[in-house]
Amino acid sequence: MRQVEMKCLSRRQFLQGAAVALAGSKLPLVWSAEPGLQVPPLPDRSKNAPTVPVSIQRCESYEPGLVRRKLDEAIKLIDGIDKLVRGKTVTVKLNLTGDIRELRGLPASRTYHIHPNVAAALCAALDKAGAQRIVLVEALYYREPVEKVLTIAGWDLAAIRSAGGHKVILENTKNRGNWPGYSRLKVSWGGYLFPAFDVNQWYEKTDVFVSLSKLKEHASAGVTMASKNLFGILPTALYGDDAPNEDTVQARAALLHSAKRGVPDGVPGEIDRGVPRDWRYRIPRIVADVVYARPVDLAVIDGIDTIRGGEGYWNDGVEPIQPKLLLVGRNAVCTDAVCTAVIGHDPMAAHTQPPFQGENYLRLLAAAGVGTNDISRIEVRGVTLKEAIYPFNRKSVPAAVLNS
């Protein structure tokens, strides 16, 4: 696999550059899965989408010292993060989807949630690289303080704060939190479905943004890693089933999944692109839009313990597995493409083809120029892709993956 270098840009530079490139491009328009579905005025930049290396490390357990060593090595293999985070505020989006409960007798952190020891190892790495402040965020479905919720879930917050050099801040971003209002993140080219999103201000008022996510399949999106994790930055106070409600503990199904209700007054509404009121098309487009609006600077994927067959305890037939892997990259799409291949799926699969029940959001993101989903263009460092493959669906691995 060959490496194509991508200069590190700020969020503002990325969006400005992408908007200019899209405006001047003569490439063909993005293909849509649904006949007659309105296609956005976006040229397909897939063949020229940026690529950066992704590292893979074998990690046999969640023993704290082992996780730190393996994560440090994975970060080192992508040329480190010192220049990225030194003297900066770093906001880390955790993957703590749904309620916190056991699955098949195992805690959420061993199945469908990020493990606290991976979060601690990341905080230690950020502190060592010189981060000035580390903010851990997630839109939790709880009214209790974040500290209480995570402690009940088994997180040793004292250890995490110590690992982060006592620079760690926690916030529930289901609403505006401690901020006086929301920040608006815009999709500069217009968006597949939404032109902008209102979010907790930590997602904008940060120098570096990290997606810390679990290696999983997803019942409605196909796969969920660094990119799909960003679906959770949308505050339930504005996008939830009872929005607007700053005290909400509701999910986002009615508005985002099925369009059974609209956004509250003052919140950017969706664009009429003829998209069916069907999660198979809405969810992938929302994921693509939110990742474009809030680019990821560092993706860290916990694949030590996880589940197959879905994203949480609410999916029928899910079961715990142990791929024993950590994956790290500087581009969410590149990292997710490698992750998708690792679990035995083709990241370039056509829309509506397994594991994607609807549109493949990795194709949409590649077409938008965020990053490549072509694993033949991504340099994998550390454990090789073929050595790391751990098929989740027990079926044969696509030739596109084996021959990469």
Res 179: pLDDT: 97
Q: DSSP assignment of 261-278, as one string? A: S-PPTTSPPPP-S---S-
Res 40: pLDDT: 65
User: How many CB atoms are located within 10 Å of the residue 272 CB?
Assistant: 8
pLDDT along the chain (404 residues), means of 10: 37 44 39 52 88 98 98 98 98 96 95 98 98 98 95 96 98 97 96 96 98 96 97 98 96 95 96 89 96 98 97 94 98 98 96 93 96 97 96 70 62
Which among 22, 10, 4, 16 is positioned nearest to 368, based on CA atoms?
Answer: 22
- Sequence spans of domains, the chain: 11-392
Q: What are phi and psi of 22, to 5 degrees?
A: -65, -40
Residue 12: strand, helix, or coil: helix
Residues facing residue 212 across a β-bridge = 94, 300
Tens-digit pLDDT profile for residues 217-266: 999 999 999 999 999 999 999 999 999 999 999 999 999 999 999 999 99
Res 295: pLDDT: 97
Tens-digit pLDDT profile for residues 346-382: 999 999 999 999 999 999 999 999 999 999 999 999 9
Tens-digit pLDDT profile for residues 47-69: 999 999 999 999 999 999 999 99
Q: Which residues contact 273 (CB under 8 A, 6 or more apart)?
A: 37, 38, 39, 40, 192, 193
Res 1: pLDDT: 36
The CA distance from 68 to 383, in Å, is: 17
Q: What are phi and psi of 298, to 5 degrees?
A: -155, 130
Res 24: pLDDT: 39
Q: 362: which DSSP letter?
A: H
Q: What are phi and psi of 263, to 5 degrees?
A: -75, 155
Res 275: pLDDT: 86
The Cα-based distances of 322 to 77, 156, 163, 307 in angstroms read: 23, 23, 25, 8
Contact 365, 333 (CB under 8 A): yes
Q: Which residues contact 305 (CB under 8 A, 6 or more apart)?
A: 62, 106, 110, 111, 115, 320, 321, 322
